[in-house]
Amino acid sequence: MSARTSLAALNAAPPEAFAAFAAELFEGAAWVGARAAAARPFASVAALHEGMMAAVAAAAPEERRALIRGFPDLAAGLGALAPDSAAEHAGAGLDRLAPDEAEAFARFNAAYRARHGIPFVLCVRRHGREAILDSFAARLANAPEAEEEAALREIGYIARLRLVDRIEGPGLPQVAGRLSTHVLDTHAGRPAAGVALRLYAVGRAGRTLLDTRTTNADGRTDTPLLSGAPLRTGRYEIAFDLGPYFRARVDAAVATLFLDTVPVRFGIDEPEGHYHVALIATPWSYTVYRGS
Amino acid sequence: MSARTSLAALNAAPPEAFAAFAAELFEGAAWVGARAAAARPFASVAALHEGMMAAVAAAAPEERRALIRGFPDLAAGLGALAPDSAAEHAGAGLDRLAPDEAEAFARFNAAYRARHGIPFVLCVRRHGREAILDSFAARLANAPEAEEEAALREIGYIARLRLVDRIEGPGLPQVAGRLSTHVLDTHAGRPAAGVALRLYAVGRAGRTLLDTRTTNADGRTDTPLLSGAPLRTGRYEIAFDLGPYFRARVDAAVATLFLDTVPVRFGIDEPEGHYHVALIATPWSYTVYRGS
Amino acid sequence: MSARTSLAALNAAPPEAFAAFAAELFEGAAWVGARAAAARPFASVAALHEGMMAAVAAAAPEERRALIRGFPDLAAGLGALAPDSAAEHAGAGLDRLAPDEAEAFARFNAAYRARHGIPFVLCVRRHGREAILDSFAARLANAPEAEEEAALREIGYIARLRLVDRIEGPGLPQVAGRLSTHVLDTHAGRPAAGVALRLYAVGRAGRTLLDTRTTNADGRTDTPLLSGAPLRTGRYEIAFDLGPYFRARVDAAVATLFLDTVPVRFGIDEPEGHYHVALIATPWSYTVYRGS
Amino acid sequence: MSARTSLAALNAAPPEAFAAFAAELFEGAAWVGARAAAARPFASVAALHEGMMAAVAAAAPEERRALIRGFPDLAAGLGALAPDSAAEHAGAGLDRLAPDEAEAFARFNAAYRARHGIPFVLCVRRHGREAILDSFAARLANAPEAEEEAALREIGYIARLRLVDRIEGPGLPQVAGRLSTHVLDTHAGRPAAGVALRLYAVGRAGRTLLDTRTTNADGRTDTPLLSGAPLRTGRYEIAFDLGPYFRARVDAAVATLFLDTVPVRFGIDEPEGHYHVALIATPWSYTVYRGS
């Protein structure tokens, strides 16, 4: 990946340099940058991204299909991939699939190309591995026209993330989501401090531990559970250890607490969204809600 | 196990027949019945049970210890067991332990006898398998005096359940607990009908499915999830399928619901108690509480 | 009001007697019963009511308008009223209106007759006094065709209640609503017993005390707050005295409790419905919901 | 009240000037400053306050009683008051009492002096008017020794607030509380924007409107409901207009909403505390809690 540049530098760059920059974002399609160059200067990085997507939208239908065809199949081997695609695939774990998963991807890729005439394009940085397979299945069934549109939308996501990776400074589009939590103890009427919690990704085969934390004096974690990048869509669980927290407030004769580890399962659907999972608890009740 | 009898028949029985009846409840100790016989007639089955336990309490210390020693080790092989004990052990799964579990029981039995001089007596019909092992560990550490008292308390539980099994008619002591649930949909302002749910026993090695139900028009199950016997102490989970229930009320563009299957984990500590696990939900929030 | 009769007696009565019975229900319109008589025997009181309403629906348009015109203006003085209407008006407090209210009713009556050509017919047993005035205002603005239908619907409600008053035995239609409450203490994990509460009707000028109760061991009131008759639509408040209940569990140094008397305001819209107003509370939080 | 000064200026001031400054905080007792002057420089305003209170604590018993006796009776007429006391009394409404209230204050003042031998000293900036009377009644009943301590604690609060009024810059002690709210719509799964709400002070004679607001896009008010000064202890109500907010989501045939204006009553006990009153609502349920 190139070293970081700035919006000012891009606005001032010779057209050929600007086109070469865009080619990295659009899997080699330098023409996107060549056409967007005329609309410079852009007031913000978000406007720059919109300018390039406008060039894509204004292109001839066959140009757009060629752009889509320039993207690689998912999980088809990293040898032939451009550096960005290779890193993106690896980030989603597509470079180390189990044999049956790899076979599923191969089967999906072939079926998708046969039905829609284009590769399956998905911004994998925004999705968990199972969500990628679910998305594959859902989009395979769509009408071909809808899929061309879907592929271009995904290319927009891919290019936006690649763009943000390359630029320093303000004016960046919002690409990072956030997952946070808060535990309130309404038995004592204060934030629940010192509650151990674990974050898991939940898949069909079970849970994968992502993080372990303890709530601070305000009942929150010192930093968000996930942030700084798009959240990956999929299902998650936070397991809150309320048992040790409340133990001293329950009759010592009670050997088996009503609430011990409280699992809260939830889905993330918007990779750029803010998911605040709040827990309000007593030893005998709790409320979970998506807060803000 | 004997055929069912009645309180009236027991009140009218010859003392020797009454003593023989009691011997089945107290693992062969006919003397308990022989002494309680004089206090007849009993006004209720509960009073009969109390009368026999009063005879135990009034016995000489060495008689009480002999009573305790008459009970078998847990999970020590079914060959030598009286029919009641054999059925009770089998009901708790103690007749089909994995090798490492069997070994743990043998180790505990030996250590307990070595430390306290009596067998480990526990009313296993009131406990789940892991709760039995947890109880073993906790009681091993107690002071020997406390354990004699604990063993007699457990003998009271055992005899009460054996008594209730043998008697028909009213006046029975309360030995059955109950587990029920209720799902309320505060998005629509009505009971949540048609919600699929599953009840699991939760152990250290995972969950065991106990029952599958669907809520009725009142948001409840037609019959309690567990009832008619003491609940077994331990941890449980009810998994509520809120996803399919609320799907049509969430924007169709949302592929991954915030709430799909909601797991509610809770502990049962009172085998004769009523556990009502209530769930109040919307597609983005839920409240769980132990109701009444 | 006539003495109570039975469905069997009505099924067997001479047609003229049956018609006279119906005349009391339909403000003098004996023809309703005369025509419904042929459909006897009715299998239930509900079916009898439907049979009479079917006769109304099958009548000529001018007959139906004459039926409507047979009903009196609301609150227009009790002198001229048939006994049922007099009792119904008195039950809703229309016989003791403040001068400005009486004037409002007179104004509404005149405006309604001028616009729709019929008297304003409303089953006042199903509504609170302010709800009656609100209903007046809303229906005044409707299209005349819609109002004829509304008047007939209200006549159905009126006749049903008068019918249920006159009949003994099973098979009665559901005319009684119910208001109940339940207080759960999730600080201690049990029903909240001994909580004083007051039920008020809430009007624009303030609250009117309807009832004072204390929760029993199950956190409920021994009998419903309202029942045995249609609930009157309108706004209500239950004031729960949580302060004294929780006082001992809050630090004695706290002079002003966070929660003391908790007012819960809610509306009743279905006179025949079941309104269960549940309160789940700790000293620092509470949840209110319409339960079932 | 003097113009603002700075910690640096006070640390550098001649001892007599420093003593004169302290005299304003301690109702004329310049000796407090004269003795604390030696401990200068103070690292923060909070440390300065502690230094002066340490001088009070180290004084002879008769000096401390003289200090207490230097404070005026509450609501005894503003003529004789020092400027700070006059402003403080006026802020609590003590300069415009109803005749019966004025009489109650006079009676309490006399009874308190008779019993305890000192005037009733209370930092009235921290309390609502009814809370002042409640406090009067409670402290009248205390033992005289406890009351001397209580009076000195109140003098500490008074001096701290007067000190903070006079100083600019960082390092100030925390004297301001905060009242905020947040409305979450769990029917739609987002903050509830555009909800009108009103804040009232609740007294025995009724409510007094303090503020009217509307929630912003985040479900909060743009600024706290109360802040920038100690909160006054007492009871409050926030009335949330959920009816208009949820109207479109309830069946149009429902004339009387289950929830319309939701009153939430709560007490403030810590004038320097943060009270966050959160409301999570659907058209048929709501949860209130003291958040953080």
Contacts B285 to A, Cβ<8 Å: 287-290
Q: Which of A188, A189, A283 sits opposite C189 (nearest CB)?
A: A283
Contacts D283 to B, Cβ<8 Å: 189
Is the pLDDT at C124 greater than 50? The verdict is: yes
Please tell me the distance from the alpha carbon of residue D193 to that of residue D214, in angstroms, as a whole number: 8
Taking CA atoms, what residue in A is nearest to B267? A258
Q: Nearest-5° angle of CA D205, CA D206, CA D207?
A: 145
CA B84 to chain A, closest CA, distance in angstroms equals 27
Q: Is A284 on the interface with C (CB under 8 A)?
A: yes
Question: Taking phi first (over 0 means left), then psi (-120 to 50 degrees means alpha), and beta for anything else, what does residue B32 get?
Answer: alpha
CA A292 to chain B, closest CA, distance in angstroms equals 12
Is the pLDDT at B126 greater than 50? The verdict is: yes
Q: Is D184 on the interface with C (CB under 8 A)?
A: no
pLDDT number for residue B204: 85
CB neighbourhood size of C214 (10 A): 12
Q: What's the burial of B176, exposed, middle or buried (CB within 10 Å: 0-12/13-18/19+)?
A: middle
Contacts A191 to D, Cβ<8 Å: 292
The per-residue pLDDT for range A191-228, each reduced to its tens digit, is 999 999 999 999 988 899 999 999 999 999 999 999 98
Is the pLDDT at C10 greater than 70? The verdict is: yes
Could you state, in order of their start, the residue ranges of all structural domains in chain C?
A: 5-168, 178-291
**Distances, alpha carbon A13 to alpha carbons A2, A21, D112, in Å:** 15, 10, 83
pLDDT number for residue C78: 56
Identify residue A200 by its one-letter amino acid code.
Y
Is the pLDDT at D186 greater than 80? The verdict is: yes
Tokens, residue C34 = 């005369």
Q: Is C265 on the interface with D (CB under 8 A)?
A: yes
pLDDT number for residue D1: 40
User: How far is Cα of residue C63 from the mean position of the Cα atoms in its chain?
Assistant: 28
Please tell me the distance from the alpha carbon of residue B178 to that of residue B227, in angstroms, as a whole number: 5
What average pLDDT does the segment B133-148 reach? 92
Tokens, residue B215 = 């809520």
Is the pLDDT at B120 greater than 60? The verdict is: yes
Whether C120 and C108 have beta carbons less than 8 Å apart is answered as yes
Whether C208 and C82 have beta carbons less than 8 Å apart is answered as no
Q: Which of D258, D280, D282 sits opposite B187 (nearest CB)?
A: D282
Q: Is C177 on the interface with D (CB under 8 A)?
A: no
pLDDT number for residue C130: 87
Over its C-alpha atoms, chain C yields an Rg (Å, rounded) of: 23
* Confidence grade of residue D77 (pLDDT, cut at 50, 70, 90): low
Whether D173 and A278 have beta carbons less than 8 Å apart is answered as no
pLDDT number for residue B77: 67
Strand positions, DSSP E, A115-192: 167-168, 178-185, 190-191
Is the pLDDT at B262 greater than 70? The verdict is: yes
Q: Nearest Cα to A206, choosing from A130, A144, A97?
A: A130
Is the pLDDT at D38 greater than 50? The verdict is: yes
pLDDT number for residue B239: 98
Strand positions, DSSP E, chain A: 5-6, 167-168, 178-185, 190-191, 196-203, 206-214, 226-227, 234-241, 261-268, 274-282, 285-291
pLDDT tens for chain A, 292 residues: list them: 446 899 999 999 999 999 999 999 999 999 999 999 999 999 999 999 999 999 999 999 999 999 999 999 998 765 678 889 999 998 888 888 888 888 999 999 999 999 999 999 999 999 998 899 889 999 999 999 899 999 999 999 999 999 999 998 778 888 899 999 999 999 999 999 999 999 999 998 889 999 999 999 999 999 999 998 899 999 999 999 999 999 999 999 999 999 999 999 999 999 999 999 999 999 999 999 999 8
pTM given for the model? 0.89
Q: Is A281 on the interface with B (CB under 8 A)?
A: no
Please tell me the distance from the alpha carbon of residue B25 to that of residue B46, in angstroms, as a whole number: 14
Q: Is C189 on the interface with A (CB under 8 A)?
A: yes
Tokens, residue C204 = 């624009």
Contacts D188 to B, Cβ<8 Å: 284
Contacts B188 to D, Cβ<8 Å: 284
What is the pLDDT of chain B when averaged over all its residues? 93
Sheet containing strand D261-268, strands side by side:
D206-214, D196-203, D234-241, D261-268
Please tell me the distance from the alpha carbon of residue B277 to that of residue B235, in angstroms, as a whole number: 13
Tokens, residue B1 = 């196990």
Q: Diameter of chain A by CA atoms?
A: 78
pLDDT number for residue C204: 85
- Number of B:C CB contacts under 8 A? 25
pLDDT number for residue A228: 86
Contacts B289 to C, Cβ<8 Å: 184, 186, 280
What is the pLDDT of chain D when averaged over all its residues? 93
Tokens, residue B147 = 């354990």
CA A194 to chain C, closest CA, distance in angstroms equals 20
The per-residue pLDDT for range D204-261, each reduced to its tens digit, is 888 999 999 999 999 999 999 999 889 999 999 999 999 999 999 999 999 999 999 9
Superfamily holding B178-291: Transthyretin/hydroxyisourate hydrolase domain (2.60.40.180)
Taking CA atoms, what residue in C is nearest to A285? C186
Please tell me the distance from the alpha carbon of residue B260 to that of residue B245, in angstroms, as a whole number: 9
Please tell me the distance from the alpha carbon of residue D259 to that of residue D239, in angstroms, as a whole number: 12
User: How far is Cα of residue C161 from the mean position of the Cα atoms in its chain?
Assistant: 10
* Confidence grade of residue B1 (pLDDT, cut at 50, 70, 90): very low
Q: Which of C186, C218, C290 sits opposite B289 (nearest CB)?
A: C186
Q: What pairing do the DSSP bridges indicate for beta strands D274-282 and D261-268?
A: unpaired
Q: Is C142 on the interface with D (CB under 8 A)?
A: no
Taking CA atoms, what residue in D is nearest to A274? D190
pLDDT number for residue A209: 95
Q: What is the DSSP string of chain D?
A: -PPPEEHHHHHHS-HHHHHHHHHHHTTT-HHHHHHHGGGPPPSSHHHHHHHHHHHHHHS-HHHHHHHHHTSPPTTS-STT--HHHHHHHHHTTTTS--HHHHHHHHHHHHHHHHHHSS-----GGGB-HHHHHHHHHHHHTS-HHHHHHHHHHHHHHHHHHHHHHHEESS-------EEEEEEEETTTTEE-TT-EEEEEEEETTEEEEEEEEE--TTSB-SS-SEESSPPPBEEEEEEEEHHHHHGGGS-TT-SS-S-SEEEEEEEE--TTSEEEEEEEEETTEEEEEEE-
Whether D41 and D174 have beta carbons less than 8 Å apart is answered as no
Q: State in words which class domain B5-168 has.
A: mainly alpha
Q: Is B20 on the interface with A (CB under 8 A)?
A: no
Q: Nearest Cα to C256, choosing from D181, D91, D231?
A: D231
Pairwise pLDDT comparison (D168 vs C44), residue with the higher score:
C44
What average pLDDT does the segment C4-9 reach? 93
Contacts A269 to B, Cβ<8 Å: 254-258
* Confidence grade of residue C211 (pLDDT, cut at 50, 70, 90): very high
